[in-house]
Structure 1
Amino acid sequence: MIVRSVKDLGAAVRERRRALNLDQASLAAQVGVTRQWIGGLERGKAGAELALVLRTLKALNMPLSLGDPLIGPTSSSPSVDIDAIVAKARGNG
């Protein structure tokens, strides 16, 4: 799935959460946020803290991949270390 907007990302999170048979409260507990925060993310609420979004993707085992949107990610695309990004965002990295 190519994510072009916050709403696209929210829809992808909702789809994955449901595929894993998780309710919003269970996912929120794993991520360390409220159920309302998960609901806002799934609705595409702008302004969600990036570190929390990345932590949510990690909890759902949704790897983040960056690549040319016209050709998609390639095997030579560098992998993204979500833990390092979160640590840096928190000032720990």
Structure 2
Amino acid sequence: MRISDARDLGLFVRQSRQDKGWTQAHLAQRAGVSRRWLSDLEAGKTSAEVGLALRTLSALGATVNVSFPPPGANGIDLDELLKDFEGGRGRAD
């Protein structure tokens, strides 16, 4: 799963917990965090501490792999393409 922000991480944690049939209280106890903190994490709160988030993922049995996309894999910027077309090669009027 690709996680690019706090919301994605929260959704992943919630879905993983639910897939295991665990309550927030159960996962919080296993991870050594408060249920309130876990609730905030699952809601995508951006101020969640990284160490606690990693401990929570570990309690779920998840691992974290970080990677960079290959060069040029960020997609096409249509605004830049249109600007280049209109400015450099003439208008398509």
What is aligned with 1:81? none
What is aligned with 1:4? 4
What is aligned with 1:83? none
**How many Å separate the matches in 1 of 2:12 and 2:70?**
20
What is aligned with 2:67? 67
- Per residue, is there more helix in 1 or in 2? 2
Report the CA distance between 1:69 and its aligned residue.
3.4
**Contact kept in structure 2, 1:2 and 1:69, CA below 8 Å:** no
Once the two structures are superposed, what CA deviation does each residue of 1:53-91 show, in whole Å capped at 9, x if it has no partner? 0000000011101112359xxxxxxxxxxxxxxxxxxxx
Task: Return the index of the structure with the highest Cα Rg.
Answer: 2
**How many Å separate the matches in 2 of 1:70 and 1:15?**
29
Equivalent residue of 2:65, what SS?
Answer: coil
**Structure 1 residue 33 corresponds to structure 2 residue 33:** yes
The RMSD of aligned alpha carbons is: 1.4
Once the two structures are superposed, what CA deviation does each residue of 1:18-43 show, in whole Å capped at 9, x if it has no partner? 01111000000011111111110000
Report the CA distance between 1:49 and its aligned residue.
0.9
TM-score, length-scaled by structure 2: 0.71
Unaligned ranges ≥5, structure 2: 72-93
What is the number of residues matched between the two proteins?
Answer: 71
The residue correspondences of 1:20-59 to structure 2 (distance < 5 A) are: 20-59=20-59
TM-score, length-scaled by structure 1: 0.71
